[in-house]
């Protein structure tokens, strides 16, 4: 049996960066939910398209999954062992998502399915990831609190990280002991 980890957090919290670090340290696959979800021209996948893609991506024994998508909890947490929630302070998350959006827009950085962020979309539309962060930050925190205390998910080890120092400490020192507890050796 392998190791299966889901990294959660509001946009700008560092999900992709942290999940890639964890996957690299454990030498397992990194799966990005946004990559499975988004279609060209920022079209969203319907659940009948998205769920089978997610199930296929999670069919291996070893993975680190990067993403929230609450409606997928019955799929992604079916076999997950560890859920890592990045609960950094609001001002840091907001700063990071604004900075990231500006960099991506100015560099015309290609994201998933050929999509690119634009200044217009990020600062002047209701589809802005910045607005999404403002809306979802406290809701995500509350949802994590509820789920981490739910008897329904008692088989999952929940880890809440509230600062960059805690993230680094977890990846360097805490992660090896947590995954070894689940029978997965770490080098």
Task: Provide DSSP, 5-63.
Answer: EEEEE-TTS-HHHHHHHHHHHHT-EEEEHHHHHEEGGGEEPPHHHHHHHHHHHTTSS-E
pLDDT of residue 187: 53
For residue 183, what are its two tokens? 């029978």
pLDDT of residue 179: 67
Binned at pLDDT 50, 70 and 90, residue 183 comes out as low
Q: Tens of pLDDT along 41-91? A: 999 999 999 999 999 999 999 999 999 999 999 999 999 999 999 999 999
Residue 185 has pLDDT above 60, yes or no: no
Query: Rounded to two decimals, what is the model's pTM?
Result: 0.91
For residue 80, what are its two tokens? 């997950």
Helix boundaries (H) for 30-154: 33-37, 47-57, 73-76, 90-107, 119-124, 129-149
Binned at pLDDT 50, 70 and 90, residue 109 comes out as confident
Specify the higher pLDDT residue, 52 or 179. 52
CB 5 within 8 A of CB 65: yes
pLDDT of residue 124: 82
Helix H or strand E encompassing 177: helix 175-181
pLDDT of residue 70: 94
- Spelled out in words, what is the top-level CATH class assigned to the domain 4-88+137-181? alpha beta
- Phi then psi dihedrals of residue 158, to 5 deg: -100, 130
């Amino acid at each position: 049996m392998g190791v299966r980890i889901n990294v959660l957090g509001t946009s700008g919290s560092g999900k992709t960066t942290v999940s890639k670090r964890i996957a690299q340290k454990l030498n397992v696959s990194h799966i990005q939910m946004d990559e499975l979800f988004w279609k060209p021209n920022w079209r969203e996948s319907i659940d009948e398209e998205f769920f089978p893609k997610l199930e296929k991506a999670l069919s291996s024994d070893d993975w680190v999954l990067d993403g929230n998508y609450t409606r997928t909890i019955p799929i992604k947490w079916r076999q997950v062992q560890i859920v890592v929630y990045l609960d950094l302070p609001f001002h840091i998350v907001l700063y990071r998502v604004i900075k990231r959006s500006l960099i991506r827009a100015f560099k015309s950085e290609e994201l998933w399915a050929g999509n690119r962020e634009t200044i217009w979309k990020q600062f002047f539309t209701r589809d802005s990831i910045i607005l999404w962060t403002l809306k979802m930050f406290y809701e995500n925190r509350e949802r994590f609190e509820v789920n981490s205390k739910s008897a329904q998910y008692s088989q999952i080890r929940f880890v809440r990280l509230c600062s960059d120092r805690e993230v680094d400490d977890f990846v360097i020192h805490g992660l090896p002991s947590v995954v070894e507890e689940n029978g997965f050796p770490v080098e």
